Structure 1
Amino acid sequence: MSLTRQLISGGFADLEKSARFLDAPELASVDRERLLADLAHAADPDLALQSLVRLLALRPQLRSLLDEPEPATLPLFRLLGASEALAEFLMRRPEHLDLLTTRLDPEPEAVPAARLRADLLSAVDADPDAPIPVAGRSGPDAWVALRVAYRRLLADLAIRDVCALDPLAYLPAVGAELADLASAALDAALAVARAEAATVHDPAEIAAVRLCVIAMGKCGARELNYVSDVDVIHVIDTADDADAPALPDEKAVAIGTALAAGVARVISASAPEPPLWEVDANLRPEGREGPLVRTLASHLAYYQRWAQNWEFQALLKARPAAGDLALGERYIAALAPLVWASSEREGFVESVQAMRRRVGENIPARDRDRQIKLGAGGLRDVEFSIQLLQLVHGKVDESVRVPTTTAAIDALAAAGYVGRADARQMGHHYRFLRLMEHRIQLVRLRRTHLMPDGDHARRALAKALLAPDEPLRPAAEALMHEWAHIKRDVRALHERIFYRPLLNTAAHLSADDVRLSPEAAQARLAALGYGDPRGAMRHIEALTAGVSRRAALQRQLLPVLLGWLADGVDPDAGLLGFRRVSEALGTSPWYLGLLRDSSSAAERLCHVLSSSRLITDLLEVEPEAVAWFGHDEELVPVPFAAQWAEIRSKMSRHAGADAQMRLVRLTRRREILRTAVMDACGLLDQEAVGRSLADADRAAVLGALHVAEREVFGDPADRRDPPTDLLVVGMGRQGGREIGYGSDMDVLYVHDPRPGADPGEARRAAEAIVARIGALLQQRCTPPVLAERPLILDAALRPEGRQGPMVRTLSSYREYYQRWADTWEAQALLRARPLAGDDGLAGRFVDLVDPVRYPSRFDASAVREIRRIKARVEAERLPRGADPSRHVKLGRGGLSDVEWLVQLLQLQQAARIEGLRTTSTLDALHAAAEADLLPHDEAAVLEESWTLASRVRCGTIIWTGRPSDVLPADRRALEAVARWCGYPPGSAARLEEDYLRLTRRARAIFERRFYGE
């Protein structure tokens, strides 16, 4: 193979330059094949080759290392291919080249923090055994000694890092050791600063000042980057031993300031060895404008009175890092109560969320798509999400009070505040993003968080992310694809967790409220409006007892849910319903996670449980439906065709009428529940509710018809042609697709014997099918629901009423309607709509009844007959003792008034006005207004009255689980119905007033238009 091909296959980019380096005299006696194989382990083989030649020029004895077996050369090539800056350090300080001959342990242990501290203190001639750093050497020589010792330890860590068999798993240990190394550097710098301050201040006074450097940010959390500002806060105190001089606060602050400034100078000022990093004290109280050091009392006073919300978030990571660690521990202990109570501050959650948005908005446009740290789906999204969860829940749960992000993710998952799958995904993605950041910074030891430009740099980064023995994937493209995938996942997790509504509500609860201690909980329950606080506590104790994850999640959720349940009409019933639903779902892993994570599910569920007996009962037997509350795509009416396709598919897989009808009934119950939930969530208007419920009933009737036909005629594959075709026709509200919850179904049955069939056999078959349909649909679901009503088919509107045959032939209907039909029967046919059966027969039936219900002539006598019947209905059918002003169906201005007026107009005018030929009351009302049969303002009043009466009727059965046609007089029931009708809390009287006013106006219009002016 040619050299050019070898270089290309080895991952080299600059082929000409690399070929020249391979011909350098320093490599004259080196086995080129072996060298190229070794260079293949380097993330950037071009960089590794160039650095190798330069090092050999300085230290020819390094040449012998190249003859060692491959494991021995791995540190050399992995480090030189990963970090140009550390290679340059070794060139500057060749006495440290022995690092490259390190024999790697397959599972290297981290260097203990005490050893790092001892090494760096020894470098500046300070006593490593002193608990508080004492003066060491001073001046630039000490600075250089510290920085060289630091970089040696940094290079040692980098070698272990880039040679790790699992870089992602090793990442937390790297971050911790980098933070410990920074803390050791601060301690050593403090020793130097004490020596240098002695030239200005009395050494005894310097010794009397206790200074602790509090590490913040990533250093405080022990998850530091290779190159990062080290954020610090300085706290001082004076020694309390008798031999130390007494110092006034002003003097102690002056000495402390000199020491703090000295530490920054030792670490960051110019010297023959480059600075380590910037010591950033801008997180201190008052920021750049505040004093560099403060006493503990001054710090405490500031945080108690003046600190902003973000300052408490910053203190999550605070850790005593250098100096007087005992003083630092007192600092942490003093501020901890303020940190963990900070989420109760007004607007805390919103301010944290706003700060995250500002961080993203301030990214320069040119860097937005390259930001690993600050951009959407970057490190900050993970960190802000986790920190907000910690601050909200950590006020009572000490298990989540951990500073390291990866450890905090695990702690939050263990406590149930984050789902296990989400935590695994977030933890992996966070480590991957941090590993990318580490590898990018390691190249030149520069503080950057940007994805590099160019394929070569990205290819080198992709290879640097792999273990040494992992085969190289397609580099640059694969890296960018994986990064894009991670950003999408992280952003989605961030938006789901960071903007979780539970956070905002939980943040405003006191610690006692969150803990749910019996005394505090009962007091809060009473204050929230629970009628039986002791009974509510029994439910709470049953839900939260034990140490299971489920109990932990319930303890997390209930303090918030109790408030949302209390916003409903009956919080006690709502809490009982929550317990019943929770017990029905058992240990289902998705349920409590949905309530914790969803932007709307928990609040919606609480609203429903405390406002609806019917939905609560249905949810207890259909608990999986709770998943709908968090997924709006599930809260969409399922069209009739889709329901029927599902029923047919399920029936084909089950034999036997009982099994098949059970599926039909369960599908109907599910769709009634879906409609009720959508209605409760405000996603359907009254017209859509009626259509959705009617479609569920229609699908059930069609299913029952198929089961009945199979029983009577036999299996379709084996039976002979049936003797007759059957049709079920919906009448009344079912025909108009404007039914309510629990409505019966008015029907007509039509059959049409097939040519050549025996009429008697056809009649008997039709009667058997009709009887079986009714029986099948009247059975209840299993398990039964107290508030659920089976579908009752009522054929009382058939010719001759209850005295006539249950099912007639089409020709019999034709003869009856032509010769004997009364005016009321023509009126009833206005809402006749074929539901189930033969399509051809349905068309023939409609052709038959259209001339009857849309007559070309409707004379005065027929109008008088309609008026007489309406008056009789009002007089005879209104229940004894019922208040006509409150009866929503038959009362003044109610459903009956609007429907009879509309139907009279249809009988009079539908023959000439096509828009009136509809089974829908509201569609016909709109058509009447468009045709100037009614003034638009009157039509609007009638529509509003009809809609409100329909809502009241639905709201009553939703609240009680029982049908009723009366506007409730009981205040609680009236409040529940008002809420269902869309009124705000406390509007029972307003609903009553609106209903009575509106129906009075509707009645006046009805009387004027129906009985004549």
Structure 2
Amino acid sequence: MTVPGRRSSTFTRLLRHGFTDPSAAARLLELPDMASVRSDPVLLDALGATADPDLALRSLVRLAEAHEPDERRRFLDNLITAKPLRDRLLGVLGASEALGDHLARHPRDWHALATYESADLHPGVADFARGLADATDPVSLRVSYRRCLLAIAARDVCGTTDVAEAAAELADLATATLRAALGIAQAAAPDDAAACRLAVIAMGKCGGHELNYVSDVDVIFVAEPTNGTEEAKALQAATRLASHLMRICSETTVEGTIWPVDANLRPEGRNGPLVRTLSSHVAYYQRWAKTWEFQALLKARPVAGDQALGEAYTEAVGPLVWQAAERENFVPDVQKMRRRVVDNIPAAEIERELKLGPGGLRDVEFAVQLLQLVHGRSDATLHSGTTLEALQALAAGGYVGRADAAQLDEAYRFLRAMEHRIQLHKLRRTHLVPEQEADLRRLARSLGLRTDPVTTLNREWKRHASVVRRLHEKIFYRPLLDAVAQLTPGETRLSPKAAGQRLEALGYADPAAAMRHLEALASGVSRKAAIQRTLLPVLLGWFADSADPDAGLLGFRKVSDALGKTPWYLRLLRDEGAAAENLARVLSAGRLAPDLLLRAPEAVAILGDPEGLRPRGRDHLEQEILAAVGRADTAEAAVAAARGVRRRELFRTAAADIIGSYGTEENPAEADAGTLVDQVGDAITELTAATVAGALRAAVRDTWGDTLPTRFAVIGVGRFGGHELGYGSDADVLFVHRPRDGVDEQEAARAANAVVSEMRRLLQLPTADPPLLIDADLRPEGKSGPLVRTLGSYGAYYRRWSLVWESQALLRARPMAGDTELAEAFIELVDPLRYPREGLDDEAVREIRRLKARMESERLPRGADPTLHTKLGRGGLSDVEWTVQLLQMRHGWEVPGLRTTRTREALRAAHAAGLVSADDARTLDEAWVLATRVRNGVMLVRGRAGDTFPSDARELAAVGRYLGYGPGHVGDMLDDYRRVTRRARGVMEAAFYDA
């Protein structure tokens, strides 16, 4: 009888050792046969170290009781004295109730765990075959199989093997078992065995050497007749043998089952014959097989039966596997199949599904297999059926980033270890994480998570699942993968001859120079060169989709040279969404964007950021520029810093414009032209305003510090004020100042003029960037008048001397930099001039018409084609803008919507007010947008501004591509331009001249 104090002490000790039911454990330890166990602290420590001490003790008691008394003593003595046996046996008993049951039925099988020789650590098929050699029927085969499984589990739970090694051992045991089962079937039907050659091909996890503890073993059977046997009879005999093999492994006996043998991956699945000849298999795969069947064949491996026939099978279907990626819609088909798997998971189980759910094992396996099938056509190092080996090869070849591969490897191992331990408990096929606290605790402890095990397990599981899901989405759905899959095998690795032929076929004007660029980029054995060899075949096609493939490739080489030692650059192009395609589009669209990028190569990161092409707002830009100006030591350095921001943002705008011109995933056709024009105009205007503000701060700071003697403001007019700047536009401005209290007007004027001079000097410093010229020629008295005036001087001039053209110029006056209060006062001053009460009188209207006619006759460049000049030509920008501006001056006083500096906005307001018909408004808008896009396109292509279409054929084609016209359609572009502007001219003549 146990005294109460001793019982309390025992309970405390058992709780400390990890027992959750100390009362039951104490009762078991009080059994007579357990005397040596309860008195040995080492044994109690070993029990406490198991995944489930309560389960381990219960199974140990059952095992001890299953022995005869003498054998029981020897068993317990060995358990006490032999640490390897103790750790391995108790580890298994604490992790697997099913193997504990097996040992209770076959108590002598503990001897399988008694040895700890080096040969025992990593057994192969031959070792397992010896363990199964005595099996002559299905029952004895199951017993022998469980005995071998016991040793695998012991090595696994004790950490002697890692999860990948354990999975490989399970596959080798399955191989030996299939061979033994086939041997039993052949012995039972020797005539059938003599009539055919039968090979068993392992598929799935068995074929990939990564089997679970409990899993269907997927197989395919292939047979050939022996000499003198008819093919039909041979196939019948082979079918009987294959069916018998499947029953031996799959049927339930008094010793339970081994695992189901599943032949549903065979041609035609369940509807197809169980066994086919080699030629029948090949004919099916060549003509009828679906994409998923080739993905399944990736892991095909001969494991039993006629070895030569099995190898002939894998040699015959192997080339077909590596051609699968060339099938139409291959990558989308694989992606859809993965989505279907997830969609078919019951809603109640999806959060617990370790294998099939989002972030599960299948996400890793599908991503790896897809990359293998796409890139393995020309890279035999990827031809492994084992997931982790293939992942390592993908990382070594540069197809997956090393960091991503390492994270996937770690996550896959953790999730597979969870799956192994879940199945090991009852040797049942399941991939669901348990819900009960006790099951979760045992699972966590079996994985070595001992501190707050359940919480830690859930946290680690979710962390790894999140990593898998993120990387699966990144790798499995990246656009570059589909593009590579569409290449022919020779294109995925560039031999000189194949590359030269491909370059000519793609339209490269100088294939020899292009080859030099390719060799410089892709030669060598470095990881950088390996990634380039993956990228270049796809990039070449994207460059070829432009009007100047040679320029695109040259630009790519220059950017790659500039960023060659930057580790993130090639990773970005390989991994991040559409970055590679975006870069190809930008580099081959003309000179402006590549020139900007080469002066700031790190801006290529913009192309991989989903938000990277979104323009920055005025406040953000001005804050950044003013901060950079504040850090600079001199005014020159300050403006250089502001130019650095401007360079990057001009590239951002140009890249967004170019990429938008190619359309979007949602709208594959050309993106809305008006939207692109507005985005460019807004972005460049905001950037110019922020840059002018930076130049103003730099001009003031070095002489006056923070406070200028006079308040000073910059007013934007022309396209600047209208938020309609293009890449090559000057910034039309007016300068206004107002002396501060107590400051002499002459001193204030000197300060204001000094600021203007310094701003213009700073902005005109030599630079390779697109120039930013501030033009003040629209000021009162034009070039003859003072550069800067006080607010009062402007008021006096406009009251007495203002001409109608000056009022027209003020239509687009808008504050841009400097003193906000002063700028608003200026706008209040000029509003009555630009929107005169009761509109314009007849003389003013006639004057505007005379000015327009004079401009057309005098300012159009000599020799220019008036039907193709975007600014002054027929139906061009001037025609539309003067028409809209006349409407604004005549009706702005009574139509609030017309009081805007933006041409398109004013045109919409004029239509809304009934001043222009819907058709006429649409015609004028279309012409204005088209002419603006042509000007922007010319600047993007040539790198310098122009008002007419380029004369160079390649440049003209590049402008056409920007406008959405494919190869050979330059004539259509010019015809369309003439048609649109001709119609706009007709509307203009009716509306402007009242014709």
Q: TM-score range by the shorter chain?
A: over 0.9
CA deviation after TM superposition for structure 1 residue 972, in Å: 4.3
Structure 2 match to 1:493 = 471
Q: Residue by residue, what CA displacement relative to the aligned partner does 1:163-203 show, whole Å, maximum 9, x if unpaired?
A: 117x7xx11111111111111112222222222112x55xx
Secondary structure (helix, strand or coil) at the match of 2:276 reads strand
Paired letter, 2:759: I
Task: Name the CA distance, whole Å, in 1 between partners of 2:985 and 2:26.
Answer: 99
Q: Residue by residue, what CA displacement relative to the aligned partner does 1:9-40 show, whole Å, maximum 9, x if unpaired?
A: 54444555445434444334523866553332
Structure 1 match to 2:492 = 514
Q: Confirm whether residue 193 of structure 1 aligns to residue 201 of structure 2.
A: no
Give the one of 599, 603, 606 matched to 1:625.
Answer: 603
Give the one of 582, 592, 596 matched to 1:604.
Answer: 582
Structure 1 match to 2:139 = 144
- For residues 533-932 of structure 1, the aligned pairs below 5 Å read 533-682=511-660, 685-713=676-704, 715-716=705-706, 722-781=708-767, 784=768, 788-857=769-838, 858-932=840-914
TM-score normalised according to structure 2 size: 0.93
Aligned 8 A contact 1:637 1:675 in 2: yes
CA deviation after TM superposition for structure 1 residue 874, in Å: 0.9
Structure 2 match to 1:1011 = 993
Q: Confirm whether residue 441 of structure 1 aligns to residue 423 of structure 2.
A: yes
- How many residue pairs get aligned? The number is 968
Task: Name the CA distance, whole Å, in 1 between partners of 2:231 and 2:31.
Answer: 65
Structure 2 match to 1:213 = 200
Comparing 590-599 with 414-423, greater Cα deviation is found at: 590-599
Paired letter, 2:812: R
Task: Name the CA distance, whole Å, in 1 between partners of 2:751 and 2:885.
Answer: 35
Comparing 545-554 with 284-293, greater Cα deviation is found at: 284-293
Secondary structure (helix, strand or coil) at the match of 1:677 reads helix
Structure 2 match to 1:175 = 167
Aligned 8 A contact 1:236 1:293 in 2: yes
Q: Confirm whether residue 48 of structure 1 aligns to residue 56 of structure 2.
A: yes
Aligned 8 A contact 1:108 1:160 in 2: no
CA deviation after TM superposition for structure 1 residue 2, in Å: 5.6
Q: Confirm whether residue 155 of structure 1 aligns to residue 136 of structure 2.
A: no
Paired letter, 2:581: E
Q: Residue by residue, what CA displacement relative to the aligned partner does 1:671-690 show, whole Å, maximum 9, x if unpaired?
A: 11111111112285211211
Q: Residue by residue, what CA displacement relative to the aligned partner does 1:348-376 show, whole Å, maximum 9, x if unpaired?
A: 22322222222222223332222111112
- For residues 311-330 of structure 1, the aligned pairs below 5 Å read 311-330=293-312
Task: Name the CA distance, whole Å, in 2 between partners of 1:100 and 1:863.
Answer: 107
Aligned 8 A contact 1:231 1:283 in 2: yes
Task: Name the CA distance, whole Å, in 2 between partners of 1:256 and 1:818.
Answer: 108
Secondary structure (helix, strand or coil) at the match of 1:232 reads strand
Paired letter, 1:262: H
CA deviation after TM superposition for structure 1 residue 462, in Å: 1.1
Aligned 8 A contact 2:626 2:697 in 1: no
Task: Name the CA distance, whole Å, in 1 between partners of 2:751 and 2:941.
Answer: 42
CA deviation after TM superposition for structure 1 residue 705, in Å: 0.8
Task: Name the CA distance, whole Å, in 2 between partners of 1:399 and 1:27.
Answer: 56
- For residues 113-152 of structure 1, the aligned pairs below 5 Å read 113-121=125-133, 123-124=134-135, 138=136, 140=137, 143-152=138-147
Task: Name the CA distance, whole Å, in 1 between partners of 2:58 and 2:428.
Answer: 20
Q: Residue by residue, what CA displacement relative to the aligned partner does 1:435-456 show, whole Å, maximum 9, x if unpaired?
A: 1110011011111111112111
- For residues 290-329 of structure 1, the aligned pairs below 5 Å read 290-329=272-311
CA deviation after TM superposition for structure 1 residue 273, in Å: 2.7
Cα 1:1002/1:302, change in 2 over 3 Å: closer
Task: Name the CA distance, whole Å, in 1 between partners of 2:84 and 2:749.
Answer: 93
Give the one of 44, 47, 61 matched to 1:39.
Answer: 47
Task: Name the CA distance, whole Å, in 2 between partners of 1:907 and 1:305.
Answer: 74
Secondary structure (helix, strand or coil) at the match of 1:368 reads coil
Q: Residue by residue, what CA displacement relative to the aligned partner does 1:476-501 show, whole Å, maximum 9, x if unpaired?
A: 23322322232222222222222222
Task: Name the CA distance, whole Å, in 1 between partners of 2:525 and 2:352.
Answer: 45
Aligned 8 A contact 2:634 2:702 in 1: no
CA RMSD of aligned residues (A): 2.4
Structure 2 match to 1:287 = 269
Secondary structure (helix, strand or coil) at the match of 1:452 reads coil
CA deviation after TM superposition for structure 1 residue 655, in Å: 1.8
Comparing 68-77 with 655-664, greater Cα deviation is found at: 68-77
Q: Residue by residue, what CA displacement relative to the aligned partner does 1:178-232 show, whole Å, maximum 9, x if unpaired?
A: 111111112222222222112x55xxxx457443322111111111111111111
Q: Confirm whether residue 981 of structure 1 aligns to residue 973 of structure 2.
A: no
Q: Confirm whether residue 88 of structure 1 aligns to residue 87 of structure 2.
A: no
Structure 2 match to 1:26 = 33
Task: Name the CA distance, whole Å, in 1 between partners of 2:330 and 2:728.
Answer: 47
Task: Name the CA distance, whole Å, in 2 between partners of 1:473 and 1:413.
Answer: 34
Task: Name the CA distance, whole Å, in 2 between partners of 1:724 and 1:822.
Answer: 28
Q: Confirm whether residue 368 of structure 1 aligns to residue 350 of structure 2.
A: yes
Q: Residue by residue, what CA displacement relative to the aligned partner does 1:115-141 show, whole Å, maximum 9, x if unpaired?
A: 2223323x24xxxxxxxxxxxxx5x3x
CA deviation after TM superposition for structure 1 residue 974, in Å: 4.1
Aligned 8 A contact 1:889 1:965 in 2: yes
Secondary structure (helix, strand or coil) at the match of 2:817 reads strand
Aligned 8 A contact 2:218 2:262 in 1: yes
Paired letter, 1:634: G
Paired letter, 2:943: G
Task: Name the CA distance, whole Å, in 2 between partners of 1:416 and 1:886.
Answer: 50
Aligned 8 A contact 1:746 1:793 in 2: yes
Give the one of 61, 75, 87 matched to 1:74.
Answer: 87
Paired letter, 1:963: A
Aligned 8 A contact 1:43 1:460 in 2: yes
CA deviation after TM superposition for structure 1 residue 984, in Å: 5.6
Cα 1:780/1:222, change in 2 over 3 Å: farther
Cα 1:214/1:655, change in 2 over 3 Å: same
Task: Name the CA distance, whole Å, in 2 between partners of 1:623 and 1:229.
Answer: 53
Paired letter, 1:827: Q
Structure 2 stretches of 5 or more lacking a match? Answer: 1-7, 661-670
Q: Residue by residue, what CA displacement relative to the aligned partner does 1:528-558 show, whole Å, maximum 9, x if unpaired?
A: 2223333322222222111111111111111
Secondary structure (helix, strand or coil) at the match of 2:829 reads helix
Paired letter, 1:710: R
Aligned 8 A contact 1:38 1:70 in 2: no
Task: Name the CA distance, whole Å, in 2 between partners of 1:1001 and 1:984.
Answer: 24
Aligned 8 A contact 2:214 2:427 in 1: yes
Q: Residue by residue, what CA displacement relative to the aligned partner does 1:943-998 show, whole Å, maximum 9, x if unpaired?
A: 22111111111111111212111144665444433332345665433332332222
CA deviation after TM superposition for structure 1 residue 81, in Å: 0.9
Task: Name the CA distance, whole Å, in 2 between partners of 1:362 and 1:104.
Answer: 47
Aligned 8 A contact 2:539 2:580 in 1: yes
Structure 1 stretches of 5 or more lacking a match? Answer: 125-137, 240-244
TM-score normalised according to structure 1 size: 0.91
Comparing 864-873 with 648-657, greater Cα deviation is found at: 648-657
Task: Name the CA distance, whole Å, in 1 between partners of 2:801 and 2:726.
Answer: 33
Structure 2 match to 1:963 = 945
Cα 1:111/1:763, change in 2 over 3 Å: same
- For residues 229-308 of structure 1, the aligned pairs below 5 Å read 229-237=216-224, 246-308=228-290
Paired letter, 1:421: A
Task: Name the CA distance, whole Å, in 1 between partners of 2:116 and 2:127.
Answer: 20
